[in-house]
């Protein structure tokens, strides 16, 4: 079963088994504008929920990306180093930032589901 959850800081996390795939939402990339550089963490890095895990630089601004859940980074999306614009063209698919092993799947319960996130951004 696949679970997708969202944060108020516009990260998404898609859970497949023990693996969490993290990226930024379509809303976030739209606010950023054209992404020109993405700084990603190294595999093996352990993060707590809320830790800064990546930096996205666009033509407008640089923005931090925060861990929606705690875990250990297993893989960064190398495709973004070659083509950071994937964040714009496919923010919730091919433009993912990293994969991690979950420390505590209960943390997912505190995050928004898709319907709640859509309501959240509608009021921004």
**What's the pLDDT score for residue 1?**
59
pLDDT in tens, the chain (124 residues): 579 999 999 999 999 988 999 999 999 999 999 999 999 999 999 999 999 999 999 999 999 999 999 999 999 999 999 999 999 999 999 999 999 999 999 999 999 999 999 999 998 9
Contact (Cβ atoms closer than 8 angstroms) between residue 92 and residue 12:
yes
Kindly list the structural domains of the chain, giving each domain's residue range(s) and its CATH number in brackets, ordered by start.
2-104 (2.40.50.100)
pTM of the model: 0.95
Task: Please give the Cα distance from 67 to 97 (Å, whole number).
Answer: 11
pLDDT of 57-93, one tens digit each?
999 999 999 999 999 999 999 999 999 999 999 999 9
Helix, strand or coil for residue 46?
Answer: strand
């Amino acid at each position: 079963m696949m679970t997708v959850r969202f944060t108020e800081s516009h990260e998404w996390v898609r859970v497949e088994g023990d693996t969490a795939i993290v990226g930024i939402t379509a809303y976030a990339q739209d606010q950023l504008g054209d992404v020109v550089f993405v700084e990603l963490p190294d595999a093996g890095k352990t993060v707590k929920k809320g830790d800064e895990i990546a930096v996205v630089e666009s033509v407008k601004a640089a923005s931090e990306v925060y861990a929606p859940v705690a875990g250990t980074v297993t893989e960064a999306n190398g495709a973004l180093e070659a083509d950071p614009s994937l964040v714009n063209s496919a923010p919730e698919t091919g433009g993912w930032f990293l994969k991690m092993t979950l420390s505590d799947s209960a943390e997912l319960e505190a995050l928004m589901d898709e319907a709640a996130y859509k309501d959240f951004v509608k009021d921004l």
